[in-house]
Every structure is written in structure tokens, then in C-alpha cells.
């Protein structure tokens, strides 16, 4: 990231997307998800220097979600990992791989990154743990919620996001989702709002300044929970049983990883009042 310089963000790209109708909001946009045709998803897990994660998150949320959105991409959520106090995780979505190359160029060669890159890079220990993903199918893309409203949500983003990461054997991508669906259905029955099922996107990195992992395939399940009680007493026991049963099926290379994510104050992906 530190080698990136300047190029102008394209406001026209966003206007064109909205005019073309590629952003489809439910009838009550304040409470419903915005369904978009984002076929490329980056699950980015940054290691921040000791004691600096809150500072990194504050700067990130102050300067970058809108800058990224103006190019035509979007930040679907940003989080603090509970088990890893130095890890800041965020999800960025693009409509396709061509957009990923072009829009990353507009951001990282543009004025916002040029102004803030030194401060951001000085807080980073490692930014290379990135999964390049796609929706499992059109019905399981990332849920993109309306931005946090500071007037109606003065406490900021609430709830808990859970990500269950499955490391698949090379030939297991077709069979595993069917085996896992009963477990995912039990998560929904326990009160989780499913926010996406994503799998490795097998594509060449067309913006090599930002490395991506090439040790897939992976499947990532995303869900949103209202509170710790639901997490501890309803969701986690189901996730632990699912991990055991799905590992025993012989399609995984290692045990599943359950990632507990606390939304940063402005994270779009969060629990919504009225759900």
C-alpha cells in the first residue's frame, strides 16, 4: 500500500451506477438491505501495530468509506476481531474484476489516499491477509446495508457479525455447500441474519499492489447477530457442532475458523433496529 500514489476519484462512476439502477433498495431503505450486483468481494484482515487498532479504525472510518463509494466500489463493513486485539477486518465489494483494477487505481493513486497514506501505513503491521471471493450464487451475495445514520443511530453500529471460514480441499467446492446448508439453516433459525455465502474467486490479481491469498479454495459464511446472549447461548453451540460434523465429512483441509467481529461505529454491516 505504501507505494501507491495519485489519481482522481471518479464521481461520475457512482452517478452512472445509480442512474442505471444497479443499486436496488427495499421499500423501507432505513431498515432493509441494499441488494447490489457485487460479484467481487475482498475480505481484508489487517494486523495493526500494538495498541493502535482504535486509532487506525477512527482514521479509516473518517476518510475512506465515502472515498471508496464515490469510485463505484463499497465498504460493506469494518470490524474489530475479538480474538485478535490487533486485527482490523473490513469487506470491500466491486461489481466485477475490471472494476477492481480500475477503481483501486482511482483510490490509491488519488488525493484522499495521497493525503492520508503515511499515517495509515505507519499504523499497519501487515495488510496482506486478503481473501478474494465471489458469491456462492446470486442469492448469497454480501448484504450491503444503508449507512449508519448519526441522528437515528447515535450509539453507532450495534450487534455482532460472525464469519465462519472453511478451508476446502481442492475438489470440494461443488460438494461442500450442499453439505453445509443444514448447518447454515440452523444458524438462521437461531436468530442470525445471513449476510452472505462467499467462495474463492479463482482469478489473477489484476491490482498486484494489493496482494491476495492464493491458498484456497475457501468458503466464508457471514451472519449478523443482535447481542452476546444470542452469540453465546444459541449460535456458538451450533457453530461448534457444525465444525465437528463438517470436518468429519472429509472435505476440509483444516478445522473451520469462527471469527467474531464487533462492528466499528460506522460499519454498514450491523444489527438493525426492528429486525
Mean pLDDT of the chain, nearest integer: 90
Q: How many angstroms separate the CA atoms of 179 and 175, rounded? A: 7
CA 180 vs CA 20, 51, 177, 184, 254: distances in Å: 36, 37, 5, 6, 15
Domain ranges, ordered by start, for the chain:
37-143+158-263
* CATH node for 37-143+158-263: 3.30.70.100
- Any residues with CB less than 8 A from the CB of 65 and at least 6 apart, and which? 75, 78, 147, 266
Select the more confidently predicted residue: 33 or 114. Answer: 114
Question: What does the pLDDT look like over 158-170, one tens digit per residue?
Answer: 999 999 999 999 9
pLDDT interval class at 109 (50, 70, 90) = very high
Q: Count CB atoms within 10 A of the CB of residue 21.
A: 7
pLDDT above 80 for 25: no
Report the first-to-last Cα separation within the chain, whole angstroms: 38
* Cα torsion through 105, 109, 113, 118, rounded to 10: 120
Q: From the centroid of its chain, how far is CA 135? A: 12
1 contacts 210 by C-beta, under 8 angstroms: yes
Pairing mode of beta strands 74-81, 257-263: antiparallel
- Any residues with CB less than 8 A from the CB of 157 and at least 6 apart, and which? 148, 263, 264, 265, 266, 267, 268, 269, 270
Q: What is the arithmetic mean of pLDDT over 124-129?
A: 97
pLDDT interval class at 37 (50, 70, 90) = confident
Amino acid at each position: 500500500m505504501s507505494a501507491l500514489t495519485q489519481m482522481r476519484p471518479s464521481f461520475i462512476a457512482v452517478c452512472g451506477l445509480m442512474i442505471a439502477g444497479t443499486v436496488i433498495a427495499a421499500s423501507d431503505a432505513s431498515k432493509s438491505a441494499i441488494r447490489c450486483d457485487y460479484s467481487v468481494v475482498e475480505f481484508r484482515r489487517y494486523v495493526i501495530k500494538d495498541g493502535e487498532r482504535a486509532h487506525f479504525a477512527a482514521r479509516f472510518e473518517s476518510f475512506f468509506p465515502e472515498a471508496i463509494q464515490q469510485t463505484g466500489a463499497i465498504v460493506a463493513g469494518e470490524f474489530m476481531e475479538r480474538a485478535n486485539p490487533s486485527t482490523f477486518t473490513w469487506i470491500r465489494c466491486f461489481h466485477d474484476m475490471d472494476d477492481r483494477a480500475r477503481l483501486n487505481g482511482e483510490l490509491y493513486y488519488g488525493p484522499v489516499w495521497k493525503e492520508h497514506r503515511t499515517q495509515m501505513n505507519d499504523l499497519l503491521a501487515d495488510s496482506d491477509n486478503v481473501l478474494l471471493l465471489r458469491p456462492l450464487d446470486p442469492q448469497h451475495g454480501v448484504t450491503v446495508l444503508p449507512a449508519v445514520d448519526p441522528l437515528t443511530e447515535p450509539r453507532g453500529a450495534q450487534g455482532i457479525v460472525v464469519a465462519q471460514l472453511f478451508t476446502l480441499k481442492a475438489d470440494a467446492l461443488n460438494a461442500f455447500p450442499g453439505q453445509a446448508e443444514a448447518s447454515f439453516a440452523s444458524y438462521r433459525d437461531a436468530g442470525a441474519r445471513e449476510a452472505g455465502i462467499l467462495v474463492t474467486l479463482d482469478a489473477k490479481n489484476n491490482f498486484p499492489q494489493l496482494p491476495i491469498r492464493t491458498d484456497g479454495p475457501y468458503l466464508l459464511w457471514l451472519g449478523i447477530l443482535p447481542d452476546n446472549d444470542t452469540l453465546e447461548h444459541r449460535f456458538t453451540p451450533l457453530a461448534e457442532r457444525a465444525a465437528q460434523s463438517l470436518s468429519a465429512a472429509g472435505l476440509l483441509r483444516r478445522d473451520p475458523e469462527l471469527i467474531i467481529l464487533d462492528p466499528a461505529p460506522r460499519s454498514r454491516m450491523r444489527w438493525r433496529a426492528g429486525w
